[in-house]
Amino acid sequence: MDEALALAKEFSSAESQLERSRKTRIQLLGESKESKCVARCSRKWYEAAIQVLSNQGIMPSVFSGGVYDALSKGRGKFHNIYIHGSSNCGKSFVLAP
């Protein structure tokens, strides 16, 4: 019975998963840009990310260009993002979303 319920749940979400798999990473990023901010966010993540990058001496336009390049071209030589730094400096934070 549990297996049948799990299979039914999988079938109900199959169409949306198929649609998502046909989109490029850039298309998904564009859609998320147009969507509303999660409840109680009020652009706080954006402001904190700018502060983290500023603390590390990284221009937001350079960082976002690197992320865009990595997403549009996929993994490969010169298309990866490497973030390094000490503990608790915000490395995971800027890419978590």
Task: In whole angstroms, give the CA distance from residue 74 to residue 76.
Answer: 6
- The pLDDT tens digits for 60-87 are 899 888 888 888 887 778 778 888 778 8
pLDDT at 40: 72
Chain-centroid distance of CA 10 in Å reads 24
pLDDT at 12: 80
Task: In whole angstroms, give the CA distance from residue 80 to residue 69.
Answer: 8
Residue 83's closest CA among 95, 68, 65? 95
- The single residue listed with the structure tokens 């999988």 is 10
Regions in the chain scoring below 50 on pLDDT: none
Residues 6+ apart with CB under 8 A from 93: 48, 49, 52
**8 A C-beta contact, residue 94 and residue 49:** yes
pLDDT at 96: 66
Taking the domains of the chain in order of start, what are their residue ranges? Answer: 1-35, 38-97
